[in-house]
Amino acid sequence: MARYCRVLTDVLVWSLLMLSWCEASRNRISGYDHSYGTFKPNSLIKRRDDITRLKSVARASLRLLDTVSVSDFGAKGDGKTDDTQAFVNAWKKACSSSGAINLLVPGGKTYFLKPIRLNGPCKSILTVQIFGTLSASQTRSDYKDLSKWITFDSVNSLSVDGGATGTVNGNGETWWENSCKRNEAKKCTKAPTALTFYNSKNLRVNNLRVRNAQQIQISIEKCSNVQVSNVEVTAPADSPNTDGIHITNTQNIQVSKSIIGTGDDCISIESGSQNVKISDLTCGPGHGISIGSLGDDNSKAFVSGVTVDGAKLSGTDNGVRIKTYQGGSGTASNIIFQNIQMENVKNPIIIDQDYCDKSKCTEQKSAVQVKNVVYRNISGTSASDMAITFNCSKNYPCQGIVLDKVNIKGGKASCSNANVVDKSGVLPQCKST
């Protein structure tokens, strides 16, 4: 039956290719595009792109024939039965198979999971289709490693797709209630990250909903060539340390068309990250978009090539922020924040080189150097008396800070130890201290 379906798919795709070719030839004779009535010298390129797109459809269709379902390995999906081992067994089968494989988590069910680590490398090119809900154990003793719940480790060319319904639910309420940030009488302890991608290349995460993580919601660590799109991340505004998407030691990553409302940074970018592109982001509640914190415990930190192009922030504690500890070293450089709208944001634009989230921080001479940062086409309202704050180091002043078409109402600007250029249309004006 599988062979028959494959042959039928090949015939269908070949027919589509031939129809596309004929249509392209009819409409684009000698480079003339009748749909536009103009000469199109790139018509052959467009024809090639049409064929490439159909080939992609063909590959996707063929993948559907090679599906491993967690249900086939005993997953009940009743929200009560422990389905962890069924997921592990399904993963082993999918990972060890050859070719393109779909690992299916069927929709309409809730799968109770204890901590699970899905290890590579894999022989297959894997797509994990999470169409149901993954629900985390709330029993602390189930977590031998308190820092992780679901981890994908060393899986190259992995795609994770949530379709229209796929949800990862960390059930974080129990963890939040025992957090020292909610109750100072409690001892500060670790809590798991809901979803971690570690040491992977060519990663795709699409159409996924992550809710109520125990701590960080999605963490992307030591990865390269990553695309995250159409992701929705939610948790209450008072949920402690629930960063939406945490990026560390990762290169060439794009985050687009996503909605994040949480109790900490919507997106946090930490040391070792380069070429980070963020676009079409909706953020709030939360602590905004943060680079850092960097340089904690006198460490070296390097972040470069970060571009945020297109974002809307509402009711957040910060807007776009760079935060570093005293005593660190390294650089945060070549950063662009542009085309951003802010509504009722407490600290819309902020660089803080005296960041401290500990009970006591001592003054130190060294600092992470912040340089070449552009703020362009940013508008909105401040919910505090500060719209722009550059609190930079005396020994390592901020260099190459450019403000261009920045208009934030309801607050003033304060710039300390910062080399700032106001290009045009900047309100409030930066006042150096």
Reported pTM:
0.85
Say if strands 320-324 and 289-294 run parallel, antiparallel, or are unpaired: parallel
CA torsion angle 266 272 276 280 (round to 10): 0
Separation in Å, CA 82 to CA 45, 113, 117, 172, 229? 52, 6, 15, 18, 30
Here the tokens at position 332 are: 């945060």
Is-catalytic flag, 287?
Answer: yes
Q: Which of 243, 264, 296, 317 is catalytic?
A: 264
Residue 41, pLDDT score: 37
CB atoms within 10 A of CB 29: 11
Phi-psi region of 377 (alpha: psi -120 to 50; beta: other; left: phi over 0): left
List, in order, residues 6 or more apart from 419 with CB less than 8 Å away: 397, 398, 399, 400, 401
- The pLDDT value given to residue 10: 47
List beta partners, residue 255. 228, 278
Selected catalytic residue, list 246, 287, 296, 317: 287
Residues 6+ apart with CB under 8 A from 179: 186, 188, 191, 240, 241
Q: Which two tokens stand for residue 176?
A: 């939040």
- Cβ atoms of 196 and 219 within 8 Å: the answer is yes
From the CB of residue 377, how many other CB atoms can be counted at a distance below 10 Å? 16
The predicted structure's pLDDT at residue 28: 37
Q: Which helix (H) or strand (E) holds 140?
A: none
Beta-strand runs (E) in 295-368 = 300-314, 320-324, 329-345, 349-352
pLDDT of residue 404: 98
Q: Per-residue pLDDT for the chain (433 aa), expressed as one digit of tens each?
A: 444 344 444 444 444 444 444 444 444 333 333 333 333 334 433 444 444 444 444 444 444 449 999 999 999 999 999 999 999 999 999 999 999 999 999 999 999 999 999 999 999 999 999 999 999 999 999 999 999 999 999 999 999 999 999 999 999 999 999 898 888 888 888 999 999 999 999 999 999 999 999 999 999 999 999 999 999 999 999 999 999 999 999 999 999 999 999 999 999 999 999 999 999 999 999 999 999 999 999 999 999 999 999 999 999 999 999 999 999 999 999 999 999 999 999 999 999 999 887 777 788 999 999 999 999 999 999 999 999 999 999 999 999 999 999 999 999 999 999 999 999 999 999 866 5
Count CA atoms within 13 Å of residue 429 on its CB side: 4
d(CA 6, CA 13): 11
C-beta separation of 17 from 51 below 8 A: yes
Instruction: Report whether 255 contacts 218 (CB < 8 A).
Output: no
Place of tokens 């953020």: 283
The CA distance from 70 to 122, in Å, is 17
**Alpha-carbon separation of residue 383 from 29, 225, 250, 305 (angstroms):** 60, 37, 33, 29
For the beta sheet containing 28-29, the strands, ordered from the edge strand earlier in sequence to the opposite edge, are: 28-29, 32-33, 38-39
Give helix then strand counts, H and E, for the chain. 4, 33
Q: Under a CB-based contact definition with an 8 Å cutoff, are residues 232 and 258 in contact? A: yes
Give pLDDT, residue 433. Answer: 57
Count of residues making up the chain: 433
Q: How far is CA 300 from the centre of its chain?
A: 24
Q: What pLDDT is stored for residue 333 in this prediction?
A: 98
**Residue of 307, 298, 356 lying closest to 333 (CA atoms):** 307
Nearest to 29, CA basis, from 16, 17, 19, 44: 44
CA 163 to chain centre: 17
pLDDT in tens, 265-308: 999 999 999 999 999 999 999 999 999 999 999 999 999 999 99
50 catalytic, yes or no?
A: no
DSSP H or E segment with residue 24: helix 2-27
Q: Tens of pLDDT along 109-153?
A: 999 999 999 999 999 999 999 999 999 999 999 999 999 999 999
The CA distances from residue 325 to 45, 76, 147, in Å, are 51, 48, 23
The single-letter code of the amino acid at 188 is C
